[in-house]
Structure 1
Amino acid sequence: ILYFAYLLLFKVLMTSFSAVINRLFLVFFQGYPSSNLALKGEATQSSTLSFAAASKAIDGRRNSFYTNGFCSHTAEDETDPWWRVDLQHSFTITTVKVTNRGDCCAERLDGAEIRIGNSLENNGNNNPKCGTINSLGSSPTHTFQCNEMEGRYITVFLPGPQKILTMCEVEVFASLSAFPSPSQTTSGWDCAGTVLIM
């Protein structure tokens, strides 16, 4: 009986130790919380103009000049255009960074809403709102605090007729508590519970 008690204690200690090591690995080796979750997501949008696919806004480049080919762009004069990234898992979102065009037309993004949630109803546009883009000012990149909103889908929705939605980068960051325990083995996570973001 004593042997089995020691064996059980050993397993508990090893599980706890593994969890601690995995968290430290996230922080020190994968650069968390600076890891941008959008980089491993899948992007889509209501329409696409020319070469400016939705994926251009999650390519890791903040190049704000549209002609350089690193920005997303919906069709011209669209009603209620939207852009969305699927993070593949639900996270506790802390901040979202949006990089607007820097060469021209920055005002096109005014009024766009950042929405976060787990629903795809109305293309994700009905999910809770993190913030509204009014004016990004002189800097093309602006950070929106989302106060730990839960969600798998990050949607940028621009309500109204004759709108154009164009962005040069969208970055998404989550709380450390959003990562799973070592027992979770769903797709996108390894058996130790660390997120695969490389």
Structure 2
Amino acid sequence: RNLALHGKATQSDLVGNPWSADGHASNAIDGNRDPHYDHGSCTATEWQTDPWWRLDLLDEYVVTSITITNRKDCCPERLDGAEIHIGSSLLSDGNSNPLAGKISSIPGGGSVTFDLKKGISGRYINVVIPGSNRLLTLCE
């Protein structure tokens, strides 16, 4: 079952984002995989160092898979190199939790599922793009 639909999402910048009217963190857990940003179903951070998005599952679960949908209408390469972390710590905004996977590339509008064979226990799922002058957009 999709635990994300019942969680709470946040991202590294909530104030001052010029796209904030459209790029809410919750757009990545609304069940809508429309990969076009201007349709209101994707997230967006500002250009910043180590931008992140976090899902709070509101309780600890054993996570067995994660599916990420990339933006199609622009710049799918922005997600290249993103890391997925799962755990129950909010140290470093949750980005220090164990690494569950790394996105090498997802085609524009495409989805990739990370199957975590043994499962990883945690309350928080983070997606972070390490590096400076990066922008994070997720469409589910």
Q: TM-score, normalised by structure 2?
A: 0.92
Higher strand share: 2
Q: Give percent identity, aligned residues only.
A: 51
How many Å separate the matches in 2 of 1:110 and 1:136?
Answer: 7
Q: How many residues align?
A: 134
Contact 1:130 1:145 in 2 (8 A): no
Who is 1:17 aligned against? none
Contact 2:81 2:103 in 1 (8 A): yes
Q: Per the alignment, in what secondary structure is the counterpart of residue 57 of structure 1? A: helix
Higher helix share: 1
How many Å separate the matches in 2 of 1:53 and 1:63?
Answer: 14
Structure 1 counterpart of 2:77, from 107, 113, 119: 107
Who is 1:19 aligned against? none
Unaligned runs of 5+ in 1: 1-34, 170-198
Amino acid at match of 1:46: S
Structure 2 counterpart of 1:92, from 57, 62, 67: 62
How many Å separate the matches in 2 of 1:165 and 1:107?
Answer: 10
Who is 2:125 aligned against? 154
Larger radius of gyration: 1
State the superposition RMSD in angstroms: 1.1
Who is 1:119 aligned against? 89
Who is 1:39 aligned against? 5
Deviations 1:76-96 (A, max 9, x none): x20000000000111111000
Higher RCO structure (Cα 8 Å, ≥6 apart)? 2
- Kindly tell me: are residues 113 and 53 of structure 1, through their superposed partners in 2, closer, same or farther at Cα, counting changes over 3 Å? same
Who is 1:57 aligned against? 28
Unaligned runs of 5+ in 2: none
Displacement of 1:62 after TM fit?
Answer: 0.3
Q: TM-score, normalised by structure 1?
A: 0.66
Displacement of 1:139 after TM fit?
Answer: 5.6
Deviations 1:90-142 (A, max 9, x none): 11110000000011110000010000001000000000011101111366111
In the TM superposition, structure 1's runs of 4+ consecutive aligned residues that sit over 2 Å from their partners are none
